[in-house]
Structure 1
């Protein structure tokens, strides 16, 4: 038992320094407010969300699409497809999270 205690005490500094991230789900109004006229930075891309409903995504080249809020979800459409894909959203400080129907997660931070 003493060895377990000593081992745990050795981990204490790392545990104490660990950041606790709390993701708060967003309502439709909060999604609208979180994205309108904002720019997000992903790992290797960025995206702007215009109040007009246009969105610009760049991962080395510009790609224009459309975005809207439907219920409590962010939805996007990327021509030439006419299909809309929708995602739940959550926020933690200056970070936002997109949650797909299959549970896939994409995180971003505000770049503006």
Structure 2
């Protein structure tokens, strides 16, 4: 019986590692600061200064980013409103989860 239980634990562990795990504010900051993410047809560079450069199909857009209550938040001028998203991690993949359940997935460029 012990062998069977051990086998179940060993088989379940890799599957658990593949699940999306919610991130804390500190984890989000560490995951984004000074890094570049890649989305389909888009890259986003997260500067230490709180600036962010979003390049979609060659067009640049500068905005701001910050961490607030365990969420990633961004603001894109001329709009002065901040939009915030929960974040999850699965290995090296990240995803942004909006209040309405919209999800955007990204991987690291480097």
TM-score by length of 2: 0.83
Q: Distance in 1 between matches of 2:40 and 2:90?
A: 17
Deviant stretches of 4+, over 2 Å:
none
- Give runs of aligned pairs for residues 1-112 of structure 1, distance below 5 A: 21-60=18-57, 61-112=59-110
Deviations 1:43-73 (A, max 9, x none): 1101000010000000120100000000100
Query: Computing the radius of gyration over CA atoms, which structure comes out larger, 1 or 2?
Result: 1
Structure 2 gap ranges (5+): 1-13
Structure 1 gap ranges (5+): 1-18
Give the aligned CA root-mean-square deviation in angstroms: 1.2
TM-score by length of 1: 0.81
Aligned positions, number: 94
Q: Distance in 1 between matches of 2:19 and 2:48?
A: 28
